[in-house]
Each structure stands twice: as C-alpha cells, then as structure tokens.
Chain A
Amino acid sequence: AQTVTQSQPEMSVQEAETVTLSCTYDTSESDYYLFWYKQPPSRQMILVIRQEAYKQQNATENRFSVNFQKAAKSFSLKISDSQLGDAAMYFCACRATSGTYKYIFGTGTRLKVLA
C-alpha cells in the first residue's frame, strides 16, 4: 500500500523569502510519479510540479522546485521569492506507473504568506 505523509499542517513565510514544504511517502512500487498540487481559497486544485521517480534530476517550474531524495522517500517542495498569491493549501501526491492508477494524497500543508 502507498502512503503519503505531510507532517506540517501549517507553515508561514515572509513575502520574497523561501519556504520548503515537506512530504514523505512509502510505496512498494519500483516506479512511480510524484506531484505537488496547490489549492487556493478558490478551492481549485492546480498542479504545481511533477517528478518522475526514475529521474535523478530535481524538477523545476519557475519559482517552484523539488528536492527529491529517492532513498529517503522524501519529496519536498521549495518555493522561492514567495508571493502573496502562493498562499494556499499544498498537497503532495503519489501515483504508481502500473497497476492501480489511484493517486494517494497527503493531508496537506496550509501556507501563509506574510506581507
């Protein structure tokens, strides 16, 4: 069975600073994908970034990057130059590449951005 754990229910960051959101996962699958989703107050679920487990290079999307540590089963999200619009719930998710196509989501981290 797969599990995804986000141990930080809430985080705060000063505008323009950098913040890292933690995510650990457990899976018996040999290959899988990892995702970070953002849910602003509008409640839309927006894909932020994805990482393919077989790729060693960490994914980057503009101000968002991940620190993927496969051996430690860790997949943290770094947000640089934080903006007020980054305030949201952030969910980490894992999906195997074969078998079940279920996405397993973490419980989320609420990010507050302070002006």
Chain B
Amino acid sequence: DAGVIQSPRHEVTEMGQEVTLRCKPISGHDYLFWYRQTMMRGLELLIYFNNNVPIDDSGMPEDRFSAKMPNASFSTLKIQPSEPRDSAVYFCASSSTASNQPQHFGDGTRLSIL
C-alpha cells in the first residue's frame, strides 16, 4: 500500500512568496495531521483534521498559515507571505480512528525561505 505522500520534497523560495505544501493521506485514514520540525522547537503539531474537518488549529503560528482538506485524499498547507523563520521540515501524517494504530508519516517537505 502507498504510504502518506507529500510534495514537493524540497522547496526553496524567496521571502514574500506564497508556498503550498501538499499531502495525500493513506486511503481509509480519517485523521490527518500537519507538523513542523525545527532544531529549536522540535516537532510541533500545527493542525489536524478528522473526516476533512479541522479539529484543532491552535498550533498554527499565525494568520499567514492556512490549511485545507477539500476531500479525504488531499490536504494543503499554505504560507502566504512566507518568511525566513518559516524554514523547517513540514510533515504530514495520517491515522485511522482506532487509537492503537500509529500515525503514518510522509517523508516531509524541507522548506527553505531565503
């Protein structure tokens, strides 16, 4: 079975530009999570969805960040306008409702804002 698929794997762009990160969860998983990982702050949960509905977005750093899940097989995380401090690795993960099932992570997107 295909795992969680993220694109792009790497993104380099100049500050002020809009950045869109994409994620395809594992089929049948009804939870989707977006994380940001940096050396300074570790792994931070930004937002998570259940059945395409955002449940908790308290980790979204500011209004420049937005996330959508238009259907069960696709989600985006958008940063507009981007800033150098947004540089990080962004992970998408999905899981099923069964609480004993682990999250499955994508390979992450390494974002560099110049």
Chain A residues with a Cβ under 8 A of chain B: 32-33, 35, 37, 42-45, 47, 50, 52, 91, 95-98, 100-103, 105, 107-108
Contact = CB atoms under 8 A, between A and B. Distances in A.
A7 to B, nearest CB: 14
Interface of B: 31, 33, 42-43, 45, 48, 50, 55-56, 89, 91, 93, 95, 97, 99-100, 102-105, 107-108, 110
A45 B42 contact: no
Nearest to A103: B103
Nearest to A32: B99
Contact of B107 (A43, A47, A97, A108): A43
Contacts of A32: 99
B99 A95 contact: yes
11 contacts: A33-B99, A33-B100, A37-B105, A45-B103, A50-B102, A96-B99, A100-B55, A102-B56, A103-B45, A105-B43, A108-B43
Contacts of A44: 105, 107-108
Contacts of B33: 103
Contacts of A50: 100, 102
Contacts of B110: 43
A101 B31 CA distance: 8
Contacts of A103: 33, 45, 103
Given A101-B50, A105-B42, 17 more contacts: A35-B102, A42-B107, A43-B89, A43-B108, A44-B107, A45-B93, A45-B105, A47-B104, A91-B43, A100-B55, A101-B31, A101-B95, A101-B99, A102-B48, A103-B33, A103-B103, A105-B43
Contacts of A97: 99-100
B45 A45 contact: no
Nearest to B100: A33
A107 B44 CA distance: 10
A98 B103 CA distance: 16
